[in-house]
């Protein structure tokens, strides 16, 4: 089903970002990988072929992110709303992690990538969760690129769970309401321990967030492209990073110059 590629970190492919600079590379890039279905439809193919080709883009993007020196790459793979899709499509999507990891895990381990998952584990099929957990366990001591899969992730669910958790701690006298700070909330979100995204990318021309990291992207730079996710490649990532490098982040303050 998926073409096996022997070695996927090909150094000879190394390329400078468009501006020619590895300075000021975003530490955390988050991507809303959208457009798999439309990519397939435009070729007269079933939607699942789009998802399969989307997986190749995941691989390309992971390699490119690592080469660029990005430290965290968060990929929105399945939202808490995606369960609304036809069962066949959901079943297919839930098989993709194990398919991807069966091929790539050894290489990810060798390349010092740490796999993480951000999302609600309870509703995932056992086989999906088992594949993710094996990947997380076997890469937990790696300290290279963090490849964070947002799988069964929804920002509102994440925030609701966080509020319930903190309310319970107040009820039980573990903390007081005054202890609830922005930093404490950060720690109780599924992204706890991962810095906020510096750069958010969405493919396929949609200009919305679709319940993705609503708290964490408060000051992220955003980059949208009409490219469908299965077509996304290293040049697109470099283009987004180069654009990021041209921007001035002010966080509500003023530019010092
Ligand atoms: C993104 O592609 C993948 C998931 C949401 C799982 P879509 O499946 O949303 O593709 P479009 O948006 O229908 O083209
Ligand atoms: C967002 O894409 C979710 C993922 C990329 C996993 P959707 O295709 O589900 O978003 P909407 O429905 O167009 O907002
Ligand atoms: Mg979509």
Tell me which DSSP letter residue 140 carries. T
Whole-model pTM over 0.95: no
Give me the CATH topology for the region 23-153+196-246: Undecaprenyl pyrophosphate synthetase (3.40.1180)
Q: Does the annotation list 127 as a binding residue? A: no
Q: From residue 156, how far is each of 48, 167, 196 by CA, in Å?
A: 27, 16, 17
Residue-level pLDDT at 7: 36
Structure confidence by residue, pLDDT tens digits, 93-105 = 999 999 999 999 9
List CB-based neighbours of ion ligand 3 within 5 Å: 34
78 C-alpha vs ligand 1 centroid, how far in Å?
A: 9
Contact by Cβ (8 Å): 181, 189: no
Indicate which residues carry an active-site annotation: 34, 82
Each residue's pLDDT tens digit in the chain (257 positions)?
233 333 344 444 445 555 556 789 999 999 999 999 999 999 999 999 999 999 999 999 999 999 999 999 999 999 999 999 999 999 999 999 999 999 999 999 999 999 999 999 999 999 999 999 999 999 999 999 999 999 999 999 999 999 999 999 999 999 999 999 999 999 999 999 999 999 999 999 999 999 999 999 999 999 999 999 999 999 999 999 999 999 999 999 998 65
Question: What is the tens place of the pLDDT at every residue in 143-181?
Answer: 999 999 999 999 999 999 999 999 999 999 999 999 999
- Residue 39 assigned to a binding site: yes
| Angle between the N-to-C axes of helices 87-110 and 126-139, in degrees from 0 to 180, rounded to the nearest 10 | 20
CA dihedral of residues 179, 181, 183, 187 (deg, nearest 10): 60
Ligand number nearest to the C-alpha of 228? 1
User: Which position has the token pair 């690129």?
Assistant: 145
Residues with C-beta less than 6 Å from any ligand 1 atom = 33-38, 78, 82, 93, 204, 229
Task: Give residue limits of the domains in the chain.
Answer: 23-153+196-246
For residue 233, what pLDDT is reported? 98
Please give the pLDDT value at position 255. Answer: 84
166-197 CB burial, b ≥16 within 10 A, e <16: beebeeeeeeeeeebeeeeebebbbbeebebb
């Amino acid at each position: 089903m998926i073409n096996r590629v022997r070695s996927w970190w090909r150094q000879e492919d190394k390329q400078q970002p468009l501006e020619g600079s590895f300075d000021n590379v975003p530490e955390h890039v988050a991507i809303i990988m959208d457009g798999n279905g439309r990519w397939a439809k435009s070729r007269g193919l079933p939607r699942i072929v789009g998802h399969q080709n989307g997986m190749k883009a995941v691989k390309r993007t992971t390699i490119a992110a690592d080469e660029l020196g990005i430290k965290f790459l968060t990929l929105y793979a399945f939202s808490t709303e995606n369960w609304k899709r036809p069962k066949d499509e959901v079943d297919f999507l839930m098989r993709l992690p194990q398919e991807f990891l069966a091929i790539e895990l050894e290489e990810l381990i060798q390349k010092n990538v740490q796999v993480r998952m951000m999302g609600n584990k309870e509703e995932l099929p056992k086989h999906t969760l088992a594949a993710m957990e094996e990947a997380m366990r076997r890469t937990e001591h790696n300290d290279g690129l963090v490849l964070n899969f947002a799988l069964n992730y929804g920002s509102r669910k994440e925030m609701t769970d966080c509020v319930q958790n903190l309310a319970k701690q107040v009820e039980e006298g573990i903390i007081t309401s005054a202890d609830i700070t922005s930093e404490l909330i950060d720690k109780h979100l599924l992204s706890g321990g991962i810095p906020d995204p510096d750069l958010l990318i969405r493919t396929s021309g949609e200009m919305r967030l679709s319940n993705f990291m609503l708290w964490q992207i408060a000051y992220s730079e955003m980059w949208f492209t009409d490219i469908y996710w299965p077509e996304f490649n290293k040049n697109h990532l470099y283009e987004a990073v180069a654009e990021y490098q041209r921007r001035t982040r002010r966080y509500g303050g003023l530019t010092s110059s």
